Structures are given as structure tokens and as C-alpha cells.
């Protein structure tokens, strides 16, 4: 199916100025749901784990509440809802279940390997996942070496998405100003974080989050990762 890309923030009726010619200096990728197709697997684990804790949620409710947020923020939200602290070792037990699911079925997002091969711009990752999670999952899919040394985690900053801290940290480490960055995201917290950082967004709606949840200013929503290079280069960005 061809991508249904549109400029969510362009109401001019003319050619989009989303990516002015030559203005893109850095492409910042989220990881889960953008580079690796992990969120479909993780949400199923989340539903089971939350049910065991006494908080039955549907997959749609888990996506709305937690996808795109850091482990730290997710744990805090669960404890606030339950009114008690989670037991010692809970994080490690859940991570083990994620790893089992990922080891059995994790793949790159369809079309992303071809897209990465066609993008000549500098790239990096800014993910809500921990560095340990990123090493494991990117390693499983053969993507770790491609981004090694340019991988940033919510562990690196005080506030995770939807705060802008992580994207601003990644841009600073990559010696690029926010105006020169385009973020590729797939969750509402992620796109909100990118906008708050003053960055433009290519919002991928080919995963779990509906397109309507991703739309907003300075944003193009698309649903086929193979279209990503074209979306970057159409205004001379590549």
C-alpha cells in the first residue's frame, strides 16, 4: 500500500515548506516501532503483566497510556494506579519476558533497512528504552553496529518523552541545533517531545498509534517506511 503522507501543519494549499532546501542536518530516529517492530510484541507482554498485577487493560489502553514512554515513567504510573510500590526485581522479571518475546520474533520495521541505505544524512537514535534494551534489541536485528556511538537513551536525561530533553540532548551531542533536526517518531509522546524541542517530525503511522494521534504542527504523517527518503529529499533535505 502506498504511503498516505500529508503535511499535518500546512494549511497554505501550496507546496509544503516543511523541509526547506538544504536545511536538514540530522535525522533523529526513535527506536521501538520505528527501527524495530518491537511494540506489537511488548504490548502483549504488558497486557499479561498488568493483569497479573490487578490492572486489566486492553492492548488499545496500553498503547494509549504507555507506548513511547520510558520504563521509569511507566513504572511510576503503574505504582500510582496500584497505590503501592512494585516488588524488588519486578523490572528484571518483566525485562526477561520481553527478551523472550523479542528473541523469538523481533524483526526490523518493514522497509526501514532499505530506507536507511538510501539516507545520506547524519543519523542517530533517541529512544525511551534503556541502553541495555537498545543494545539487545538493535543487536538482534543487526542495527546496533550501524548506529553505535550515536545511540541516546531516556537514561541520559532527567525527563523522558513527552519532555524535549532527550531530543535536545541527542542534537547537542551530535553538534546540531534543533532547527536542523527532523525526528522520525511513531508515538504521541514522541511527536510531542520533538515539537517541544523545536524540531520537525516525520510521524510513522504504520505501527500501533493511529494517524490522528500523531498529527499536529510541523509534522508529516506517513505509513510506509520506504517513503522516508523521499519525504526527506523532496525539498532538498538529502
95: domain CATH number is: 1.10.150.240
User: How are strands ordered across the β-sheet holding 26-29?
Assistant: 6-7, 219-222, 200-204, 181-185, 26-29, 123-127, 151-153
Question: Which of these three, 81, 105, 129, is where a domain ends?
Answer: 105
pLDDT at residue 8, rounded to an integer:
45
Examine the domain organization and report whether 229 and 132 are in the same domain. Answer: yes
Q: Helix, strand, coil % (nearest 5) of the chain?
A: 45, 15, 40
Question: Which of these three, 84, 105, 126, is where a domain ends?
Answer: 105
Least confident of 13-17, 23-27, 197-201: 13-17
| DSSP code, position 213 | H
Compute the distance between CA of residue 4 and CA of residue 107 in angstroms, rounded to an integer.
23
pLDDT beyond 90 at 237: no
Indicate the pLDDT class of residue 213, thresholds 50, 70 and 90.
very high
Q: Residue 139: inside a domain, yes or no?
A: yes
Which domain CATH number covers 189?
3.40.50.1000
Residue 184 backbone dihedrals phi, psi, to 5 degrees = -105, 115
Q: Residue 1: inside a domain, yes or no?
A: no
Task: Please give the tally of structural domains in the chain.
Answer: 2
pLDDT at residue 7, rounded to an integer:
47
Print the domain residue range for 98: 39-105
Length of the chain: 238
Indicate the pLDDT class of residue 72, thresholds 50, 70 and 90.
confident
Q: Residue 89: inside a domain, yes or no?
A: yes
Q: Residue 68: inside a domain, yes or no?
A: yes
Mean pLDDT (whole number) for 106-125: 97
* Other beta carbons within 10 Å of 201: 30
* CB-side neighbour CA atoms (13 Å) of 237: 27
Question: Which of these three, 67, 86, 105, is where a domain ends?
Answer: 105
Indicate the pLDDT class of residue 233, thresholds 50, 70 and 90.
confident
pTM: 0.84
Mean pLDDT (whole number) for 150-159: 97
Q: Which residues are within 8 A (CB) of 195 and not within 5 positions of it... i.e. 6 or more apart?
A: 201, 216, 217, 218, 219
Q: Which one is predicted more confidently, 14 or 29?
A: 29
Amino acid at each position: 500500500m502506498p504511503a498516505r503522507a500529508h503535511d499535518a501543519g500546512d494549511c497554505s494549499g501550496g507546496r509544503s515548506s516543511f523541509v526547506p532546501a538544504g536545511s536538514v542536518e540530522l535525522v533523529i530516529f526513535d527506536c521501538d516501532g520505528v527501527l524495530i517492530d518491537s511494540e506489537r510484541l511488548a504490548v502483549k507482554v504488558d497486557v499479561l503483566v498488568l493483569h497479573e498485577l490487578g490492572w486489566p487493560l486492553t492492548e488499545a489502553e496500553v498503547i494509549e497510556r504507555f507506548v513511547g514512554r520510558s520504563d521509569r515513567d511507566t513504572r511510576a504510573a503503574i505504582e500510582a494506579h496500584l497505590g503501592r510500590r512494585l516488588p524488588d526485581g519486578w523490572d528484571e522479571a518483566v525485562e526477561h519476558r520481553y527478551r523472550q518475546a523479542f528473541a523469538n520474533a523481533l524483526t526490523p520495521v518493514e522497509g526501514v533497512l532499505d530506507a536507511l541505505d538510501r539516507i545520506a544524512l547524519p543519523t542517530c537514535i533517541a529512544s525511551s528504552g534503556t541502553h541495555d534494551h537498545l543494545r539487545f534489541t538493535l543487536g538482534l536485528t543487526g542495527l546496533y553496529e550501524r548506529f553505535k556511538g550515536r545511540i541516546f537513551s531516556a537514561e541520559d536525561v532527567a525527563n523522558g518523552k513527552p519532555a524535549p530533553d532527550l531530543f535536545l540532548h541527542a542534537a547537542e551531542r551530535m553538534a546540531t541545533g534543533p532547527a536542523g533536526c527532523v525526528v522520525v517518531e511513531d508515538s504521541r509522546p514522541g511527536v510531542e517531545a520533538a515539537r517541544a524541542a523545536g524540531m520537525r517530525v516525520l510521524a510513522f503511522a504504520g505501527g500501533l498509534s493511529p494517524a490522528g494521534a500523531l498529527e499536529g504542527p510541523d509534522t508529516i504523517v506517513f505509513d510506509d517506511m520506504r517513503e522516508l527518503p523521499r519525504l526527506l529529499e523532496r525539498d532538498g533535505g538529502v
